[in-house]
Structure 1
Amino acid sequence: MRKLFLIGLLISLLVAGSIFGAEQFPRSETLYIAGHQWGPPTSFNPYAGNPAWPMHQGMNLIYETLFLFNLLNGELEPGLAQSYEWVDDLTLKVTLYDGAYWQDGQPLTADDVVYTFELANEYPLGHTVVWEYLEKVWAEGDKTIYFKMKADNPNRLILLNQLWTVFILPKHIWTKVEEDAGYDVVELRRFENKNPVGSGPYKLHSFNSERIVLERYDNYWKNKIYGGLPKPKYIIHPVFKSNDEGNLAFEKGEIDLSQQFAPQIWKMWEDKKLPISTWYKKPPYHVPASTPSIWFNLHKHPLDVPEVRKAIAYSIDYAKVAELAMTKYSPTAKSSLILPFGAEKEFFNEDIVKQYGWEYNPKKAIELLESIGCKKGPDGIYRLPDGTRLGPFKIECPYGWTDWMVSLQIVAQGARRVGIDIQTYFPDTPVWADDRNTGNFDIIMNTPAGYPGPTQPWARFQDALYSKGNAPMGQVAFRNWGRYENPKADELIEKIPKVTDKEELKKLYAELDKIYMNDVPLIVLEYRPWLFHEFNETHWKGFPTAENPYAPPTVLTAAAVKILWHIEPVK
């Protein structure tokens, strides 16, 4: 019997090793998370093209930001900084906490903040965009930073967004990194930063192709504010090859906190009686925060015909997308770039949507096509008056992104029923990303400004409609992938950040949304959470929920870092 027990134990350890790696960590001290890292980690440089977790936006574990965005109320909570205030229409004052320091013991001061922002003025980096609107940044003493915007081009929204998205770097370390890189941005980005020195509660312990391991930094400067140490000594992020692989580990209790798409997750607690939950116990289970959409290549005929695009919009069964593709995680999408709930709800105009928008109506799609002289061919597909067949159009998203793949299958089915030939195409993620950025597509799925923050819904409109400074077809673009152009839309997008009156803002957003509905450069398919919030309480308990909303459902990101001080190991 003892021999059989030892054999079983050995087998279980081998299986565990395949998930957790060769080195074992005490389970009661180790939090396993999933959904942030896809593919082997290669660089922990936040300026790399594809930095590894936890160098992702708002993930305050190694490096930290000035403030922490809270998805639940739209507020910026204290991070490295304890407060901010507008001292006049153009100048923002930020005050740091007393006593912040780097993990090497050096003090963190206002000079580090100024240095970090000035880096983006010296090199083209992720936050370089802020310098389109900033005139200067300067420090007064060790704790105070001033940001002054350009009088002729201010943008409060972009500046506020930088406060929670830009990691503050240690000047005393990164000046040497700059020097070693020869002050060349390409070399700066190539720096792999395998021993990052941040100001956060965790340090990089180890990494390989299968996992990333963080270890608690017990001397973290903010422990006294949070009332003690973070509960997990280690945080481990396994690298899974697919959602299915990660979801199986989650169901087995090998993952504690996940932001992967897990279809029909309610069956895990209703049918299988597992200690698993989400933010809500009922649909939509998660907090919607983004708008995955299909984008048209507006420079390809006949997709350059607005009526064709709008006919496709009428052909899509949005309720079916919410039910099947999003497995009830999304309310039925409306024809607006503004979310009809949460902090954006005050700008959503139902009357504009009813007058200029669309809904699932195949009959209306056919009427629209025939109104511009389309005739159906013997194969059931419509032709324009010039003889151009409506398809085949390739509609694409990455292979393995199962929720998006099902969404596009529903789109293709609906289009075919009204006489438009759309065929799905699921390449590997790098191919999809290159197709999207260079405009090498017919129709492609992506999310406009897929993160929440103080900039929404303005950022979504800018991502979708703003044409100035965008790269032409064939070159790499990072927004407006269909290369939409409309001077009036550009004008409104430039005007909104300068306006503070809520009533005027409502009118401007209504006008911008009307342009979107008339021209249909993209179509919102569904409302997706920014991050899925799923937890298994086999080993850890005390995660936030709608009934206990002490932190937002953003899986350790931004204000959700507070989770680490609240959860407890299961005895």
Structure 2
Amino acid sequence: MVKRLMLTLMLSIILIPLVGCQISSKVRRPDPDTLYVGCVQTAFPSAYMPWLSREGIAPTIAGMLYDSLFIYDEDSGNYLPSIGKEWYYVDENGEPIVTEDGSIDYARLESIYGDPKHQYLAVKVILHDTITWSDGEPLTAEDVYYSFDVATNNTLSNHAGALAWTSDLRHSYTNGVLTRRGIFTYDHGALQQGYRIAEEDRDRVVYMHVNKVLGSVTPLFTSVLILPEHVWKPVVSLESQLNSTSPNEEILYRYSHPVGSGLWVLDTEESGSQQIILHRRQDYHRTQADGSPLSGIDTIKYVLYQEINVAIYALLKGHIDVLDNSVSSNYLRLFENEEQIFVSDAPGQFTQTLVFNLNPVSSEQNPMRNLLQNKDFRKAMALAINQDELIKNVLDGAGLRASAGLMSAALEDFYNPAADSLPTDYGVRI
């Protein structure tokens, strides 16, 4: 049976100026040594397993408690050290493919891996050797192996996002059985693959096989937050998956008592649905160039507000230092005379669409919905939607038409003008 596709009509891309505010001059906080941050949402989460937390403030907190292998620097295009200290593309013997100045030797890389016999690019990652988890255990190559291994094994992770992050890693499972190994450590097949790792380096060297696309390392380096094997491996199973829909007591405890390698540690005793308290780790491995702590803040307290006006009032009265929320530009006038409050004014982009469900379940079908299966009727609706009027009257002019392919015309390599087949002149449409 051939399923019909749903037809999506683009109404507009909205470009509403959004603002974020910080630093009030009327400080009335109870603790001067703590940074108070206001957040507007329904409630704070109780789970901080990074692969589970994907709503509200949870991803932000997870990114502070856990680290990825590297941090991508958009300005330079380089991967900055995090858990990983350095990385290279390597040849079949594990030797770095670099020029004399240490940069990637793309010519040699092409000469080696351009051969069709090579189905992958080999990457070597060297970890910092001074990293510990927040419970004091050392972070090793086996933690990295476990994190990527479970991410590619959906029967244990139950996490579709993890499969997407690792789609370019040539490490595969089929129904819970490893069918192709693409991660190698001292204890997991490095020598058999021809990669010699010295005994003294066993805890800090990882090899990966990735698809033959130069950007394939990006999600592996920056999207996957590394998990402690000693915390998760004993409790994750086919019955109790990492992203469990019905977590048992052991899984729940680990969700609410995260053990990470990041700069911050969750105060589990004081944190709850109304506030989140983070303390800076004194033994964090990354520092400033002069050896001083990476952050000068010792404690961050996130305070929950369920209504934006209350949060703005708290900022103006000095009860919080930062309001970490996007708000409409209509609020800007409230801060015109507040010289000590910095307002980050930037456009925020989101897309408004109209979707036709052409295949409702039989119990939801009715004569009106049957009309949507008529192609001419759908065309008439598309022609009748006046995008310019919607932008003018609904968005107060703060919007733009969107391409039918959701692609900006400025992206010449990707934008397809043929996708925008409807006349732009509304009179011509009618």
Same fold (TM over 0.5): yes
User: How far has the Cα of 1:207 moved from its partner?
Assistant: 1.4
Using the TM superposition, give the Cα deviation of residue 353 of structure 1 relative to its aligned residue in structure 2, in angstroms.
Answer: 4.1
Residue 124 of structure 2: SS of its match in structure 1? strand
Q: Distance in 2 between matches of 1:128 and 1:357?
A: 36
Within 1, Cα distance between the matches of 2:335 and 2:324?
Answer: 17
Q: Which amino acid aligns with 2:32?
A: R
Are the structure 2 counterparts of residues 32 and 57 from structure 1 closer, same or farther at C-alpha, using a change threshold of 3 Å? closer
Residue of structure 2 in register with 1:241 after alignment = 306
Counterparts of 2:67 and 2:421, CA distance in 1: 41
Q: 1:63 to 1:131 in 2, by over 3 A?
A: closer
Q: What is aligned with 2:325?
A: 260
Map 1:449-528; keep pairs closer than 5 Å: none
Matched, 1:294 2:294: no
User: Is residue 43–residue 52 contact of structure 1 (8 Å, CA) maintained in 2?
Assistant: no
> Which residue of 2 is the match for residue 144 of structure 1?
205
Correspondence for 2:392: 320
User: Residues 173, 90 of structure 1: CA spacing in aligned structure 2 closer, same or farther, 3 A cutoff?
Assistant: same
Q: Which runs of 5+ in 2 are unaligned?
A: 1-27, 91-112, 114-119, 172-181, 186-196, 360-368
Between Structure 1 and Structure 2, the one with more helix by share is 1
* 2:134 paired with 1:129: no
1:104 Cα shift?
2.4
State the alpha-carbon separation in 2 of the partners of residues 131 and 254 from structure 1. 43
Instruction: Sort the Cα spacing of 1:40 and 1:266 in 2 relative to 1 into closer, same or farther, 3 A.
Output: closer
Q: Is the 8 A contact 1:110 1:145 kept in 2?
A: yes
Q: Percent identity?
A: 19
CA distance in 2, matches of 1:308, 1:252: 54
Structure 1 residue 159, shift from structure 2 partner: 4.7
- What amino acid does structure 2 have at the position aligned with 1:170? P
Give per-residue Cα distances to partners, 1:104-150, cap 9 Å, x unaligned: 22221221111101112332223123454433222253333222236
- Counterpart contact for 1:32–1:235, Cα < 8 Å: yes
Residue 332 (structure 1) aligns with = 400
Q: Give the aligned partner of residue 66 of structure 1.
A: 69
1:154-303 map, 5 Å: 159-178=217-236, 186=244, 191-193=252-254, 194-205=256-267, 206-223=270-287, 227-229=291-293, 230-264=295-329, 265-270=331-336, 272-279=337-344, 285-286=345-346, 288=348, 290-299=349-358, 301=369, 302-303=371-372
Change (3 A) 1:209 1:58: closer
- Distance in 2 (CA, whole Å) between partners of 1:73 and 1:332 is 31
Contact 1:110 / 1:143 at 8 angstroms: preserved in 2? Answer: yes
Distance (Å, rounded) in 1 between the aligned partners of 2:284 and 2:335? 37
Distance of aligned partners of 1:40 and 1:29 in 2 relative to their CA distance in 1, 3 Å threshold:
closer
In the alignment, the residues of structure 2 paired with residue 357 and residue 70 of structure 1 have an alpha-carbon distance, to the nearest angstrom, of 38
Alpha-carbon contact 2:67-2:82 (below 8 Å) kept: yes
Does structure 1 conserve the Cα–Cα contact (< 8 Å) formed by 2:166 and 2:220? no
| Counterpart-to-counterpart distance in 1, 2:83 and 2:393 | 41
Following superposition, the deviation at residue 346 of structure 1 comes to: 5.9
Alpha-carbon offset, residue 58 of structure 1: 8.6
**Number of residue pairs matched?**
323
Checking the alignment, whether the CA contact within 8 Å between 2:227 and 2:260 is kept in structure 1 is yes
**CA–CA distance in structure 1, aligned partners of residues 74 and 214 of structure 2:** 19
Q: 1:248 to 1:346 in 2, by over 3 A?
A: farther
SS of the residue corresponding to residue 119 of structure 1 reads helix
Deviation of residue 182 (structure 1)?
Answer: 5.0
Deviation at 1:214, TM superposition (A): 0.9
CA, structure 1 residues 76+29, in 2 after alignment: closer, same or farther (shift >3 Å)?
Answer: same
1:81 CA displacement: 1.9
Write the distance in 2 (CA, Å) between the matches of 1:227 and 1:359. Answer: 61
**Change in 2 beyond 3 A, CA 1:266/1:42:** same
Asked if structure 2 preserves the Cα contact closer than 8 Å seen for 1:92 and 1:146, the reply is: yes
In structure 2, distance between residues paired with 1:321 and 1:102: 54
Pair 258,238 (structure 1): closer, same or farther in 2 beyond 3 Å: same
SS of 1:198 mapped into structure 2: coil
> CA 1:149/1:323 → structure 2, altered by over 3 Å: closer, same or farther?
same
Residue 296 of structure 2 aligns with an amino acid whose one-letter code is: K
The verdict on how the C-alpha distance between 1:130 and 1:334 changes in structure 2, with shifts beyond 3 A counting, is: closer
Q: What amino acid sits opposite 1:62 in the alignment?
A: L
The 1:160/1:250 distance shift into structure 2, 3 A limit, reads same
Secondary structure of 1:196's aligned partner: coil
Which residue type is aligned with residue 283 of structure 2?
N
**Higher RCO structure (Cα 8 Å, ≥6 apart):** 2
Task: Return the offset for 1:364.
Answer: 4.4
TM-score, with structure 2 as normaliser: 0.62
The 1:29–1:315 alpha-carbon spacing in structure 2 relative to 1, beyond 3 Å, is closer
Residue pairs, 1:554-565, within 5 angstroms: none
Q: Closer, same or farther in 2 for the Cα pair 1:308/1:84, shift >3 Å?
A: farther
AA aligned opposite 2:387: S
Amino acid at match of 1:356: D
Task: Give the root-mean-square deviation of aligned CA atoms.
Answer: 3.8
Preserved CA contact (<8 Å) 2:126 2:204: yes
Match of 2:136 in 1: 105
Which has the higher Rg, Structure 1 or Structure 2?
2
For the Cα contact (< 8 Å) 1:278–1:286, is it kept in 2?
Answer: no
Unaligned regions of 5+ residues in structure 1, if any?
Answer: 1-19, 280-284, 368-571
Aligned to 1:311: 383
| 1:232 positional shift | 1.9
Closer, same or farther: CA 317–30 of 1 in aligned 2, 3 Å = same
1:363 to 2:409 alignment: no
Cα distance change on mapping 1:95 and 1:347 into 2, 3 Å: farther
Q: 1:184–1:356: structure 2 CA closer, same or farther, 3 Å change rule?
A: closer
Return the alpha-carbon distance in structure 1 between the equivalents of residues 143 and 380 of structure 2.
Answer: 52
Asked whether the equivalents of residues 316 and 360 of structure 1 are also in contact (C-alpha less than 8 Å), the reply is no
1:224-281 per-residue CA deviation (whole Å, 9 max, x = no partner) reads 55742322221122222233333333343434333423222432343x33433344xx
Change beyond 3 A, Cα 1:104–1:266:
same
Partner amino acid for 1:244? N
Task: Give the superposition deviation at 1:100.
Answer: 2.0
